[in-house]
Amino acid sequence: MMGRATRRLAPSPQMQTVTLIPGDGIGPEISAAVVKIFESAKAPIRWEERNVTAIKGPGGKWMIPPDAKESMDRSKIGLKGPLKTPIAAGHPSMNLLLRKTFDLYANVRPCVSIEGYKTPYTDVDLVTIRENTEGEYSGIEHVIVDGVVQSIKLITENASRRIAEYAFEYARNNQRSSVTAVHKANIMRMSDGLFLRKCREVAENYKDIKFTEMYLDTVCLNMVQDPTQFDVLVMPNLYGDILSDLCAGLIGGLGVTPSGNIGANGVAIFESVHGTAPDIAGLDLANPTALLLSAVMMLRHMGLHEYASRIQTACFDTIRDKKVLTKDLGGNSKCSEFTSEICHRVQDLA
Amino acid sequence: LKLISAAPIRWEERNVTAIKGPGGKWMIPPDAKESMDRSKIGLKGPLKTPIAAGHPSMNLLLRKTFDLYANVRPCVSIEGYKTPYTDVDLVTIRENTEGEYSGIEHVIVDGVVQSIKLITENASRRIAEYAFEYARNNQRSSVTAVHKANIMRMSDGLFLRKCREVAENYKDIKFTEMYLDTVCLNMVQDPTQFDVLVMPNLYGDILSDLCAGLIGGLGVTPSGNIGANGVAIFESVHGTAPDIAGLDLANPTALLLSAVMMLRHMGLHEYASRIQTACFDTIRDKKVLTKDLGGNSKCSEFTSEICHRVQDLA
């Protein structure tokens, strides 16, 4: 189970509400696919659909719609499809707004090789845990003099401690054996040094978990030669941005990678991290795997492990058997056909 | 050295262990500096990292002494040395003087630290110009600027703008731009889509090691550092391997390929090709390989094998 167990374990079949944000482009159809699969699994989830397109609140400040915030604050759990990037829309990125609204401080991506979906690697099984509120993405930049720009990276004790604690809790709750802090403290002695110190301090309270440290460049060098040496990786913002995408690439890309964002007040939003794919939107061609695996991650977070395993098995078996695959997975089935296949398997596995 | 003895190269051996100059400032020994300023070309093996030695890293000192602004690593898959990838053929060109490695950090208040990344117009233009010149001189078809200007709008934005400006003067080279995270995502799925990549310091640090990993690691990866006044220092980027030092077990491939890079830089292409072919053929045939390459030959045996092949190829 991910994160701190602030939720009472619900005895099935007590329904739990999840805020569903279908998103844009292929978002609605892959969300529908997930809902259908959950129905087949008879998962005790009641979906509350909300839209998060930014609106201007009183005072002219951009915010997510009040009903979306209200739903999330109440349900605490969200499942989100891809949102289109606003260009010249006047408002900031919705992902950024969500992150700030719910203080989504940890981005978690479990990367596991999918049997049947061929990549140069077969045994990847690691988790990247990225600090998602500060670091290099503070957005503080200045022109010093003409032709000289500075960009400020902020590392704080609190954020570093918080992400380290999350990483070790996650490792313990998910039976992972080690946590590796990824850093460049040899070069950025103060900032990454602070991050590293906090990780070391937190590690002291988790003697059951092995703690190691590795330079980011060494991680990358080793990752592409032998990813099996890695387990849970925790790191500041930019490094997490890079590594989480690198690792997604190892298992086949954003179309099959789940992702979860953990917030400060028990809020957790799970999401697919691919784009909206406007070119295939509405054509029943999309691959719902990433959103589905994110939903599986969500079920585990909620303690609904049996449903999670069944749905994940149905999904992986479908991909492994290669009979019904969407185009991006190498087949020529429709999204609905792929979804139905998983639904049948889920029912058979009951 | 043995391998390049027929090449028109005269070696001048120098030590670069830091010494304290007048005024107490650390510097490289004057005779090393004099030699490099005169020859303009250097070939360097691994240097041990000074811990509690009082002086800064020698690599840093060399970089500052000769204004080594570009770190260049061609990464080519080596037939016979198996990795998950077979057709890697790209070059990372890393700006090596500024960016995230400016070393400027402050404690703002207790528990809050800031680290400053500096991007300048001059350094960005200079590295972009080097990348396009390199592409042109080495018959590469495209240059990709790697950045995060969506997040670091001003700093990476400046870097990107300079790349775009320089690209205007190289219409024969295709210019593209890609976010660093997208590059990594794509690199591990299909590295063949990449050609020459140019980027600021930190991104270059990461990507150059990532790409070295794709072809088998630091033991087989060449590297070159280009300086401001025509100075160029080529070097192996692996460590000093103290546990096997002096035991005739080392693999000279990385240093040899760096020397081959050096020969190309000097226009001695025929020698470069011959030596590289001899090296790659030796690895491909798998009969005489050092331990790290999967064999159990000595360094001297591996070297002799390449020597014979070089002579046969003459």
A182-221 per-position pLDDT tens digit = 999 999 999 999 999 999 999 999 999 999 999 999 999 9
Q: What angle do CA A37, A39, A44 make, to 5 degrees?
A: 120
The single residue listed with the structure tokens 């609140």 is A57
On the question of pLDDT at B310 being above 80, the answer is yes
Contact indicator for B124, B95 with CB cutoff of 8 Å: yes
B237 CB neighbours in chain A (<8 A) are: none
Q: Using CA atoms, how far apart are residues B259 and B273, in angstroms rounded to an integer? A: 11
Question: To the nearest whole angstrom, how far is the Cα of B9 from the nearest Cα of chain A?
Answer: 33
| Element (DSSP H or E) covering residue B124 | helix B121-137
Residue of B102, B205, B209, B293 to mutate when probing chain A, most A C-beta within 10 A: B209
Query: How close A293 comes to chain B (CA, Å)?
Result: 19
Gap from B211 CA to chain A (nearest CA, Å): 7
* Interface contact flag, B120 A155, Cβ < 8 Å: no
Instruction: Give me the mean pLDDT over the B99-114 stretch.
Output: 95
Q: Check A153 against B115: CB less than 8 A apart.
A: yes
Contact B206 A217 (CB under 8 A): yes
Q: Read off the pLDDT of residues A84-141 as tens digits, 9 standing for 90 and up.
A: 876 666 667 788 889 999 999 999 999 999 998 999 999 999 999 999 999 999 889 9
Contact A225 B206 (CB under 8 A): no
Judged against a pLDDT cut of 70, whether residue A4 lies above it is answered with no
Does the beta-carbon distance from B181 to A150 stay under 8 Å?
Answer: no
Per-residue pLDDT tens over the stretch A228-266:
999 999 999 999 999 999 999 999 999 999 999 999 999
Pairwise CB contact (< 8 Å): B158 & A150: no
A76-80 average pLDDT score: 98
Minimal Cα–Cα distance from A13 to chain B, Å? 40
B44-72 burial, b for 16+ CB within 10 Å, e for fewer?
bebbeeeeeeeeeebbebbbebbebbbbb
In chain A, the residue whose alpha carbon lies closest to the alpha carbon of B124 is: A147
- pLDDT, position A54: 84
CA distances from A26 to A84, A174, A288, B56 (A): 10, 31, 9, 54
The single-letter code of the amino acid at B67 is: D
Residues whose CB falls within 8 Å of the CB of residue A243, separated by 6 or more in sequence, listed in order: A128, A130, A182, A216, A219, A220, A223, A233, A235, B184
The pLDDT score that the predictor gives to residue B102 is: 85
**What is the C-alpha separation between A65 and A94, in angstroms, rounded?**
11
Among A77-91, A152-166, A301-315, B244-258, the least confident range: A77-91
Model pTM score: 0.93
Mean pLDDT of B260-271: 95
Letter for the amino acid at A87? I
User: Can you tell me whether residue B98 is helix, strand or coil?
Assistant: coil
Residue B231: both structure tokens together: 């100075």
Residues of chain A in contact with residue B205, where contact means CB-CB under 8 angstroms, are 184, 216-217
Whether residue B213 lies within 8 A of chain A, CB to CB, comes out as yes
List pLDDT tens digits, range B45-94: 998 876 666 667 788 889 999 999 999 999 999 998 999 999 999 999 99
> A152 to chain B, minimum CA–CA distance in Å?
5
Q: Do A150 and B213 touch (CB under 8 A)?
A: no
Residue of A nearest to B105 (CA): A190
**Rounded CA gap, A152 and B108, in Å?**
12
Subunit contact A156:B118, Cβ cutoff 8 A: no
Give A-chain residues touching B116 at CB under 8 angstroms.
150-153
Contacts of B217 in chain A (CB under 8 A): 221, 225
Q: What is the mean pLDDT of residues B245-266?
A: 96
Q: Does B206 touch chain A (CB under 8 A)?
A: yes
Residue A89 pLDDT:
64
pLDDT score at B4 = 53
Which residue from A146, A152, A246 is facing B114, i.e. has the nearest CB?
A: A152
- CB of B92 within 8 A of CB of B202? no
pLDDT at B5 over 90: no
Among chain B residues, CA nearest to A140: B152
Query: Average of pLDDT values for A290-296?
Result: 98
* A-B Cβ pairs (cutoff 8 Å, strict): 157
Average per-residue pLDDT for chain A? 94
SS3 A47: strand
Min distance A16 CA to chain B CA atoms (Å): 35
Residue B86: closest C-alpha in chain A: A120
Of the partner residues A121, A139, A188, the one whose CB lies closest to the CB of residue B105: A188
Which residues in chain B (75-104) have CB-CB distances under 8 A to chain A? Answer: 83-85, 100-101, 103
Q: Using one digit for the tens of pLDDT, what is the confidence trace for B226-250? A: 999 999 999 999 999 999 999 999 9
pLDDT at B23: 85
Q: Is the pLDDT of residue A5 over 60?
A: no
* Angle subtended by helix axes B201-215 and A216-223, to nearest 10: 30
Type and span of the H or E element at B117: strand B112-120
Whether A2 has a pLDDT exceeding 80, the answer reads no
The string of pLDDT tens digits covering residues A16-65 is: 999 999 999 999 999 999 999 999 999 999 999 999 888 888 888 889 99
* A254 vs B contacts (CB less than 8 Å): 185
Which chain A residues in 228-257 lie under 8 Å from chain B, judged by CB atoms? 238, 241-246, 248-250, 252-254
Token pair in block for residue B88: 């890697």
Percentage above 90 pLDDT, chain B: 87
pLDDT of amino acid B48? 82
Backbone dihedral region for residue B49 (phi beyond 0: left; psi -120 to 50: alpha; all else: beta): beta
Q: Shortest Cα distance from B208 to chain A (angstroms)?
A: 8
Q: Scan residues 154-193 of B and list those with Cβ closer than 8 Å to A.
A: 154-158, 180-182, 184-189
To the nearest whole angstrom, how far is the Cα of A225 from the nearest Cα of chain B? 6
Q: What amino acid is encoded at B271 in this protein?
A: Y
Cβ neighbours of B107 in A, within 8 Å: 190
A225 vs B contacts (CB less than 8 Å) = 83, 213, 216-217
